Structures are given as C-alpha cells and as structure tokens.
Structure 1
Amino acid sequence: MSEERLWKFGKPEWMNSATARGAGVYGAGALFSIAFFVMLDASVWSKHKNGSAIHISFIDWLPLIFSALGMLIINSIEKTRLSANSFSYSGSGVAWKARVVLFLGFASLAGGMAGGVTVLVLKYVVAEAPFPTLYMGIANLIANGLVMLSSVVLWVSQNMEDEYSYNLSL
C-alpha cells in the first residue's frame, strides 16, 4: 500500500466508468426533480384541498430557492480549481477564490435547510397545525433534503476520474 493514500481501501473500479458518471448525473437530476415535485404537490394541495387557514406562500418557497441556488453554486466549481497543487490554477489566487465561492454555496445550501426547519417550526408546529396541514412543512424539509442529496450526488459524479480523461498542462 502506498504511503500517500489516506484510506486503507481504495475506490471500486466500477466507479471510474463513464456509465457510473452518467448514472450519477441522471440520478441527481431525478432527485432534484422529485424535490420540486414534492414542494409543488404540497403547494397545489394547500391551494385546493387544504381546509385550514394555513397555506403555502412565497415564504415557504424561499428555503428551496436558496437550496437550489447553493446547488448551482457548488456544482459550478471544478474540483481541480480547489487544489493549489497545479501551477496553472494557483498562479493568480484562483484556489482560494474557488474555496470562498464553494463555502458560499454550502452556506446557501445549509441556509435553505435551516430556513425549511424555521418555517416548519414557526408556521406549523407553533400554530399546532393538524397532520394534513403539517405535511406542507414536512414537504418543505423533504424537498430541501432531496436538493442537498442531489447536490452531493452531482458533485461526486461530476468529479469522478474517467479512464478517458486527460490532464493536459504545459
């Protein structure tokens, strides 16, 4: 075993294939679309079938918007820009700028989840809403969790090493 390795067990070989990368990207897209479907379903139910005085408003959508924005920011950064080992990227301070933007993306993603918890507690739990109405707040948390999971799946699948990827640096 090499002394440069951090973990004892290596990554399986099937994770380096183009098929696994494509499956990860499509899986992340499926999780993202399910997240928006769950929130849209709760919103439509709130408008047409909900019998209580509590309804979904723009405030309920804000955490999901921040989570989606965080996902967009996180997955727009290449993994190679985060390491300062490469001379072509570290010359003008790109590594620390990429790390700051990545932190802002994670902060937006975490802020979306925290906003979902806040909306659930303040709007539904404190008002002692019964379960069919409480589902709207739970759906908000489920949607934010699925966006977070989608972001992780997309980050991992986009940054997989492929056997056909070449690093051309001069």
Structure 2
Amino acid sequence: MESNRLFHKFPMPNWVNNANLRTGGVYLSGAMFSLGFFLFLDAAVFSHSALNGSTIHITFVDWIPLICSTLGMTVINSIEKSRLNSDSFSYSGNGVAWKARLVLFLGFALIAGGLAGSVCVLVLNFIVEEAGGGLCGWGLRMCWGMRW
C-alpha cells in the first residue's frame, strides 16, 4: 500500500529533528526579536532628538506593528505544547485542543499583521515619501531591526 503523502516520498534528514537545533533556533529567534525591539526604540528616540535634521518623526502609528508583534509573541509563548497535541480531560474538560489551536492561530495572525504593518510603514513613510539620505536605512532599521 503506497502512501501519497509528501514526506513519505521526500523524507526529512535526521539532523532536522534535533532537540539542540530546535533549542538553538528558539534562542536565536528570541535574540533577533529583542535586537529588532532595541533598534526600533533606538530609531524612535533618535527621531525626536536634536540630531535628527528631518521632518520625519515616529508617531504612534509606527508603534502599532511592534505592539502587534509583541502581543503575538506573548500569546504564542504562553501556550503549552501538550495542549495542542490531543484533547485530554485532564485540562478542565474536553475540547481544549481546538481552543488552544485557535489562540495559537490568533497569535500567528498578530505576528503576521505586525510584519505586514512594519513593511507598510517602511514603504509609506520612507520609500514613497522619498525620505532621502540615511532615513531610508533608518526605516529599514525600524522594519527589520538591522543597521544598514
């Protein structure tokens, strides 16, 4: 009996299912998120300083993607993995798995909304308006948390 599933035809390598690699990925993603958070705060403080010679400043609308991403990360990290795997009666009744999956989906939706919002802020505030000079790089720092 032949299965038509994708991963039966193309099996994953053994090194992909490594617990140390997964743990390292979790720490790396947390470090990247905190670096992006810090660089956004750096850009927000610099936009209101006397050294900023432009008319572009960070307003509350620019903070909304950061707030959405932070709430999404908080929601996703607050769900236990055991609640997603199976419906068990030990977690105060039945139907817990679909509720946890729904909350997990909402967390991922918040993160996706934060990413889409940060790209929109980058395009509308720094690329379409032609901020010029180093401010486009400043917008990239806000969007992706990198120094360009």
- Give TM class, smaller chain: 0.7 to 0.9
Q: Any stretches of 5+ residues in structure 2 without a counterpart? A: none
**Equivalence for 2:97:** 95
Residue of 50, 60, 64 corresponding to 2:62: 60
Q: Any stretches of 5+ residues in structure 1 without a counterpart? A: 146-170
CA offset at residue 27 of structure 1? 2.4
Within 2, Cα distance between the matches of 1:64 and 1:9? 37
CA offset at residue 70 of structure 1? 0.5
**Equivalence for 1:77:** 79
Question: Which of 1 and 2 has higher RCO (CA within 8 Å, sep 6+)?
Answer: 1
SS of the aligned residue for 2:78 comes to coil
Question: 1:39 touches 1:140 (CA, 8 Å); kept in 2?
Answer: yes
**Equivalence for 1:140:** 142
Within 2, Cα distance between the matches of 1:13 and 1:114? 32
CA offset at residue 122 of structure 1? 2.2
Structure-1-length-normalised TM-score: 0.67
User: Alpha carbon RMSD of aligned pairs, Å?
Assistant: 3.0
**Equivalence for 1:110:** 112
- Share of identical aligned residues, percent? 51
**Once the two structures are superposed, what CA deviation does each residue of 1:86-133 show, in whole Å capped at 9, x if it has no partner?**
543695111111111111111111111111122122222232210312
Within 1, Cα distance between the matches of 2:24 and 2:137? 31
**Equivalence for 1:37:** 38
**Equivalence for 1:167:** none
Structure-2-length-normalised TM-score: 0.75
Q: How many residues are paired up?
A: 141
